[in-house]
Structure formats: C-alpha cells, structure tokens
Amino acid sequence: MYDCAAKGREFFHQGEADLDSAFVIEYAPMFARAAVLTVSLAAAGIVLAVILGLACALIRYFKVPVLRRVAGFYIEVSRNTPLMIQLFFLYYGLTRIGILLEGVTCAIVGLAFLGGGYMAEAFRAGLEAVSRNQIETGLSIGLSRRQLIRYVMLPQAFAVAIPAISANTIFLMKETSVFSIIALPDLVYVAKDLLKEGHSGETNLMLVVSYLMIILPVSIIFSLLERRVRRAGFSG
C-alpha cells in the first residue's frame, strides 16, 4: 500500500536538507519589497472597502430612494464576481473605451470594489442588531439623524460586525495574490519569477512565510479586539 504520510515526511526532510540558504538570503530583500507593496495596496483597498461598505449599509438601512437599489445591485455584482475578473476589466477592458488605469490604481479600486460588498453585509448585520428602542429613545431626546448614527448606532454596529469585518479583511488580504495578473511586482509576481530559476522549495517557503508574517498579526489583532469588545459588553 502507498504510504502518503511516509512519502510526505520523506519529501519534507529532503527539502529541509537541500534548502539553499544562500538563495534565501539573496532574494529575501526582494520578497520584503514585494511584501511592502502588497501590504500598502491591501491597506488602501481595505480602508476604501470599509468606507464604501458602511455607506452602502446605511443607505440600505435607511431605505434611501433610488440609492438603495443602486447599492443593492452593486453588492450583488461585487460579491458574485471574482477579483481576477474585476482586475481584467479595469486593467484591460477599460482600455477599449480609452480609459487607461495604472496597475496600482486598478489593484486598489478592484480590492475596494470587491471588499465593499462584503463589508456592506457585515455592517448591515451590525446595524440591524441595534435595538429599535435605543433608536427611538435617541430621537425622542432630540438627537439628529447624524448624531444618532454617530453616537448610538455605529459603536454598537461596529462591535457586532467585528468578527465579519475581521474575516473579510483577512479574505481581502489573501485576494491580493491575484495582483500579479496586472504586472504588479507583488509577492506572487516575485515568486513566479524566481520559480523559473528552479529553486521551488526556497521560493515557496519565502512566499508562505511572507503571507504568514502579513496576515497572522492582523488575525491576532482582530482576535484581541473581539475579546475586548466582548468583555466591554458591546457584542449585543
């Protein structure tokens, strides 16, 4: 019988023994630069996604005429099309009508477009978890709609939505792996170039470690934030 576990251990130990440390040391700075680009693009895209998602959630919650339908249509399109297709449209498709966008712009816009739909649903769930009695009480004491949103609804909505926001953030950071299709020198782009030199083990190791170093701290921060919110009693 073929022992998959034994073969896997054999492959791992062989790869560990054959690891070219000189190659890793030589190309680690290249991965570091690619990681900085990946993080900066992800941060910009996620921040815009949060803003866009919150705006859409508020529009749908308060049933703003016309805009409510536009927001609903946008959410369905963004959540049901892959980021790769969206990037192809932005980077290659728009050139057919004379609109030429740089790769960095396409990456940020594409990530924000995709993430906005997911963030909107997270915020929608948070807003709907706010007690109607608290909203009515706020209105009865003379709070304007802006004050009601800022001081009553958003703090509670954010607290409820934190787990979903965390999951969406990590999801979007992992989606940055497709940026290489629009010729951005991100982590995957660098890894593809180095794989041509035949050092697959070292390259894949640096790629995995790079993503872990980016995503793991974010996951830990959100986990700590969730615990703090639960202890504060804002989770509903």
| Domain boundaries defined on the chain | 36-124+165-180
Q: Is the pLDDT of residue 8 over 60?
A: no
Query: Does residue 233 come out as left (phi exceeding 0), alpha (psi in the -120 to 50 range) or beta?
Result: left
Distance CA 86, CA 93 (A): 9
Instruction: Enter the CATH code of domain 36-124+165-180.
Output: 1.10.3720.10
pLDDT of residue 140: 84
> What is the 3 state secondary structure string of 88-134?
HHHHHHHHHHCCCCCHHHHHHHHHHHHHHHHHHHHHHHHHHCCCHHH
Q: Average model confidence (pLDDT) for the chain?
A: 88
Q: Is the pLDDT of residue 36 over 50?
A: yes
Residue bearing the bigger pLDDT, 203 or 199:
203
With a pLDDT cut of 90, the percent of the chain lying above it is 65
- Average pLDDT (8-27) is 66
With a pLDDT cut of 70, the percent of the chain lying above it is 91
What secondary structure does DSSP assign to 181-235, as a single string? Answer: GGT---HHHHHHHHHTTT-HHHHHHHHHHHHHHHHHHHHHHHHHHHHHHHHHT--
Q: Is the pLDDT of residue 46 over 70?
A: yes
In this structure, what DSSP letter does residue 179 have? G
pLDDT of residue 6: 52
Distance CA 230, CA 233 (A): 5
In this structure, what DSSP letter does residue 62 have? T
Tokens 């948070």 belong to 126
Distance CA 15, CA 18 (A): 5
Q: Is the pLDDT of residue 66 over 80?
A: yes
Residue bearing the bigger pLDDT, 109 or 17:
109
Residue bearing the bigger pLDDT, 19 or 155:
155
Q: What pLDDT band is residue 12 in, cutting at 50, 70 and 90?
A: very low
Q: Is the pLDDT of residue 18 over 70?
A: no
Task: Provide φ and ψ at 152, rounded to 5°.
Answer: -110, -50
